[in-house]
Amino acid sequence: MTGTKNSPLMWVVHLSVLLIVVLWTLPTAGLLISSLRDKNQLASSGWWTALSTSTQNVVFRAPGPEAQVETDGKFVIAGNVLGNRGGQVSAWGTTPTKPSEFQPGQSSTLREGSTLTVQSDGAFEIVSPTKLEGNRGQRIAFVASIPPRFTLDNYREVLSAQGIGSSFINSLTVAIPSTVIPILVAAFAAYALAWMKFPGRALIIAMVVGLLVVPLQMSLIPLLKIYNGVGEIFGVPSKTYLGIWLAHTGFGLPLAIYLLRNYMAGLPREIMESARVDGATDFEIFLKIVLPLSFPALASFAIFQFLWTWNDLLVAMVFLGAGNEELVLTGRLVNLLGSRGGNWEILTASAFITIVVPLLVFFTLQRFLVRGLLAGSVKGG
């Protein structure tokens, strides 16, 4: 119809889609910006202020008496409270509760007649007529205007942590077979449920659909007990890669069979009948016709399964263990954060390190995602 593309409704649809994309992308963009910011700026202001000068209240501890130098009969400790931050000091004080007690250039009298002076560029001097004693340096609280600073130090800190490399390999060792095995098993089952006639087929399909809603946590412990029992009979160790591969296969099969069966059931019946007339067996039809045509559905499930197994921590801890040699990447990063409390620079950098591989998988296979998900939604065999 003439003018449909420029109708008000079409503009509303386009603006709505654009708004959804922005809202969906904004948290990820904020996470990326935060991972590149200086940790002091990240702790004091939000990512949306990354390009503006920030005002920070900072507590700095000067070097101890061991750093004093005798000059003209006086003992001096000098340095810069800003360090490598850059910026300007707008006010300072001798206690964290009073960071604006003095202006830059003013002096404060300390113990034993010593004086402290802080300049606007951050330079400070502690001057004493007698030799300074003690074990700790003077605390200096100050208010500073810090220009935006971006750094890769957050990523270096995470990537240089001990065990990150081995945990990365462990995650790949878990995720790749745990994605391939369910696809192989589900593809055979889906073909049988879609194109082979046998008693109880409808009941099996109903059971598969029912298993889609079973929570992982409900079946995790029973499955572990069964696996350990079978392992004791055959002498198989409980904490092995085989165990976690089988666990992920079991948890992923219902979705895989459901997705692939719907897709295969929607394939043209004429192709199958022509192949049978030519003498092809079910295995040959599956291998040479159905499997190549089902690649969009296979790719769709591969994306979901890989994302789940790559980011999984619960199943990995239960079936693989939490030992230093078996720990997956998510578990290693959790341990790294455990002793650091709320260091957001570690959290943000860790998040992007963990999503690099899933992003590569997604963008490689995403053109098949929608086709695979929508397949079989209209009709089924």
DSSP letters of 266-281? TS-HHHHHHHHHTT--
CA distance 147 to 145: 7
Q: What is the mean pLDDT of residues 107-116?
A: 86
Length of the chain: 381
- Rounded to 5 degrees, what are φ and ψ at 89? -90, 125
Residue 380 inside a domain? The answer is no
Domain count, the chain: 3
The residue ranking higher by pLDDT, 133 or 102, is 102
Q: In this predicted structure, what is the pLDDT of residue 339?
A: 54
- pLDDT above 50 for 376: no
Residue 152 inside a domain? The answer is no
Same domain, 170 and 121: no
Q: What is the mean pLDDT of residues 195-223?
A: 86
Structure tokens at 25: 């992308």
Q: Which residue is it, tokens 């000098």?
A: 78
Q: In this predicted structure, what is the pLDDT of residue 38?
A: 83
Same domain, 129 and 268: no
69's enclosing H/E stretch is strand 69-71
Average model confidence (pLDDT) across the chain: 84
The residue ranking higher by pLDDT, 23 or 6, is 23
Torsion sign (Cα): 320, 323, 328, 330:
positive
Q: Which of 307, 329, 369, 348 is nearest to 27 (CA)?
A: 348
Write down which residue in 85, 118, 147 finishes a domain.
147
Same domain, 247 and 364: yes
Same domain, 178 and 314: yes
Q: Which of 292, 298, 306 is nearest to 371 (CA)?
A: 298
Residue 344 inside a domain? The answer is yes
Q: In this predicted structure, what is the pLDDT of residue 380?
A: 42
How would you classify residue 105: left for phi > 0, otherwise alpha for psi between -120 and 50, otherwise beta? Answer: left
Residue 291 inside a domain? The answer is yes
Tens of pLDDT, residues 290-304: 988 888 888 888 888
Q: In this predicted structure, what is the pLDDT of residue 227?
A: 79
87-120 exposure pattern, b = at least 16 Cβ within 10 A, e = fewer: bbbebbbbeeeebeebebeeebeeeeebebbbbb
Write down which residue in 90, 123, 147 finishes a domain.
147
Same domain, 225 and 129: no
Q: In this predicted structure, what is the pLDDT of residue 321?
A: 79
The residue ranking higher by pLDDT, 15 or 237, is 15
Q: In this predicted structure, what is the pLDDT of residue 373?
A: 55
Q: In this predicted structure, what is the pLDDT of residue 381?
A: 42
Percent composition of the chain: helix, strand, coil (DSSP 3-state, to 5): 60, 15, 30
Q: What is the mean pLDDT of residues 177-202?
A: 92
Q: In this predicted structure, what is the pLDDT of residue 115?
A: 92
The enclosing domain of 268 has a CATH number of: 1.10.3720.10
Same domain, 59 and 166: no
Write down which residue in 79, 113, 147 finishes a domain.
147
Residue 311 inside a domain? The answer is yes
Percent of the chain topping pLDDT 90: 24
- pLDDT above 90 for 222: no
Q: In this predicted structure, what is the pLDDT of residue 40?
A: 76
CA distance 208 to 220: 18
Residue 232 inside a domain? The answer is yes
Same domain, 27 and 60: no
Residue 188 inside a domain? The answer is yes
Q: Compute the half-sphere exposure of residue 289: CA atoms within 13 Å on the CB side of its CA.
A: 20
Q: Which of 42, 102, 112, 50 is nearest to 77 (CA)?
A: 112
Tens of pLDDT, residues 164-176: 888 899 999 999 9
Same domain, 171 and 142: no
Same domain, 186 and 139: no
Q: What is the mean pLDDT of residues 266-275?
A: 88
CA distance 284 to 246: 27
- Which domain range does residue 45 map to? 8-49
User: pLDDT-based confidence at 353, cuts 50/70/90?
Assistant: confident
Residue 1 inside a domain? The answer is no
Q: In this predicted structure, what is the pLDDT of residue 246?
A: 87
Same domain, 125 and 161: no
- pLDDT above 90 for 103: yes
Same domain, 129 and 213: no
Same domain, 141 and 253: no
